[in-house]
Structure 1
Amino acid sequence: MSTRNEQTQGHGRKGRDPLLLNKIAGGILSAGLVFWVATHISMFFTNHEAPKKPVIAIAGAGAAKTAAGGVPSIDGLIAKADVKKGMSFVQQQCSACHTLTKGGANGVGPNLYGVIGAPMFAKAGYAFSAAAKKKAKGNWTYQKLNEWLVDPQTYVPGTHMSYTGIKNDAVRADAIAYLRTLSPSPVPLPKPGPGGAKPSPAAASGSGAPSIKALYAKAVIAKGQSFFQQQCSACHTVTKGGANGVGPNLYGVASAPMFAKSGFAFSGAVKKIAKGNWTPHALNEWLYAPMKDAPGTHMAYPGIKNDQVRADVIAYLNSQSASPAKLP
């Protein structure tokens, strides 16, 4: 038995392949040779040097990387901006790092309430980078904020802000229009400039709204209420005794004095066009295009362009009164 076991163990030792290490080394060398050949074949079919010019020219890529020269003026863009869209964008994209309420705490980024018109890169309790402080000159204007938000790293090389920017001009204008509302006294809007068309002479003394006199007969108060709640309630209350917000409380507005609500500071622009009391016609002009009806108004809302919807909203506002006016 012992002899068989020894023979078996000896056979096991003889069964080990003496060329195993050589085979492993050969496999490694073969793999390296295949990689070398593949690399040189690929270089034969493709240019191994970096192209001197980009193969594909991306439209607008260069423009977005230049601050003052390449960023479109905000002047005309903000006249067409949608505050509600801007609010939605800012809440989705910015609220993780910034608070937006009055007196809100600084977070990853500074609190943004009242940012437009405030000193650049200077917020109590927040430590801005040295790069940002070097760029700080005066206060934030619409155009400075426009240039910052398109590409923060290009506007302030070395900034701590890693956000890549808002490349879409309209979305950027929407966001800035919303940031404008975060103030007890929003900075007056700039006059239309290179970013958009100037108002036509016909619209200078009013919004040019089509008459909706015939549409009041078909107006649906419930539809007006639904629209108001979706589009207007973020800025206005409409209940009796309701507080003013970003905009004034609108209870009883349909026959109240124009642009005169206790406790609310209206802009000089709207006070200029205030004549008597609100009428359905005056509300129609105003709600069609506020920024055309009163150039320089603090209200950045672009207006209600659908005639029937506008009639529905006016009918609803008229109903929110102790003594509703008689619609035409």
Structure 2
Amino acid sequence: MHRSFTLLVMCAALSVSGCGRGKTDDRDARLRQAGPNPSFAALMRVASADAGAAKFGQCAACHTIEDGGMDRGGPNLFGVFKKPFATNSASFGYTAALSKAGGVWDEKTLNAWIAGPSALVPGTSMQFAGVSDPLDRADIIAYLRRQRPAK
């Protein structure tokens, strides 16, 4: 089976499995705190990096997140928050589309990317349908934001 198809199937299976919802994620309480029809900013205020760590499992099929971690089907994501697109790994072969897109991995761009990579950067090779739940995306972003080198 082709490697990228295998990775896509793994990512999809993890996404559908609903992994990451457990005792560390009082989802309903956080949603109530965010208010009715919450904006992305409101969801980021209640986002949980701990819940995001569990939800990152669907990303871990293709990405590592440890300081100095290796690239897999996608680049290592440690320290990606606030970095320019296509710069987090010196050894990963980013697509021309992502390299030329210009941008910084902040909350807004990560939210759009995690929702649907090809919608943000047409021509990207990342074959991932995206995370449809906005609170799940906010949690993953909070987790990515926490993964940075010590100062």
Displaced runs of 4+ in structure 1, greater than 6 A?
none
Give the corresponding residue for 2:136.
Answer: 309
How far is 1:322 from its partner? Answer: 2.2
Alignment of 1:164-179 (within 5 A): none
Does residue 254 in structure 1 map to residue 94 in structure 2? no
The letter for the 2-side match of 1:269 is: A
How far is 1:211 from its partner? Answer: 5.4
Match of 1:281 among 70, 94, 108: 108
Q: Distance in 1 between matches of 2:62 and 2:144?
A: 15
Which whole-Å deviations, capped at 9, do the CAs of 1:98-117 have from their partners, x for residues lacking one? xxxxxxxxxxxxxxxxxxxx
Q: Distance in 2 between matches of 1:211 and 1:285?
A: 14
Which whole-Å deviations, capped at 9, do the CAs of 1:206-259 have from their partners, x for residues lacking one? xxxx95111111111121111112x01111000000011110000011112211
Alignment of 1:177-188 (within 5 A): none
Q: Scaled by the length of structure 2, what TM-score is found? A: 0.72
Q: Distance in 2 between matches of 1:323 and 1:263?
A: 22
Q: Scaled by the length of structure 1, what TM-score is found? A: 0.34
Give the corresponding residue for 1:299.
Answer: 126
How far is 1:86 from its partner? Answer: 7.5
Match of 2:100 among 259, 262, 272: 272
Seq. identity, %? 36
Does residue 233 in structure 1 map to residue 69 in structure 2? no
* Structure (1 or 2) with the larger CA radius of gyration: 1
Which whole-Å deviations, capped at 9, do the CAs of 1:172-223 have from their partners, x for residues lacking one? xxxxxxxxxxxxxxxxxxxxxxxxxxxxxxxxxxxxxx95111111111121
Match of 1:214 among 27, 30, 42: 42
Structural RMSD (CA): 2.3
Task: Count residues in correspondence.
Answer: 120
Give the corresponding residue for 2:71.
Answer: 244
Give the corresponding residue for 2:9.
Answer: 84
Q: Is there any run of 5+ residues in structure 1 with no aligned partner, and where? A: 1-81, 89-209
Q: Is there any run of 5+ residues in structure 2 with no aligned partner, and where? A: 1-6, 14-37
Describe the shift of the 1:220–1:302 C-alpha distance in structure 2 as closer, same or farther (beyond 3 A).
Answer: same
Verify the 8 A CA contact 2:11 2:59 in the aligned structure 1.
no
Verify the 8 A CA contact 2:8 2:128 in the aligned structure 1.
yes
Does residue 321 in structure 1 map to residue 134 in structure 2? no
Question: Which of the pair has the greater relative contact order for Cα pairs under 8 Å at 6+ separation?
Answer: 2
Verify the 8 A CA contact 2:111 2:137 in the aligned structure 1.
yes
Verify the 8 A CA contact 2:10 2:61 in the aligned structure 1.
no
Give the corresponding residue for 1:206.
Answer: none
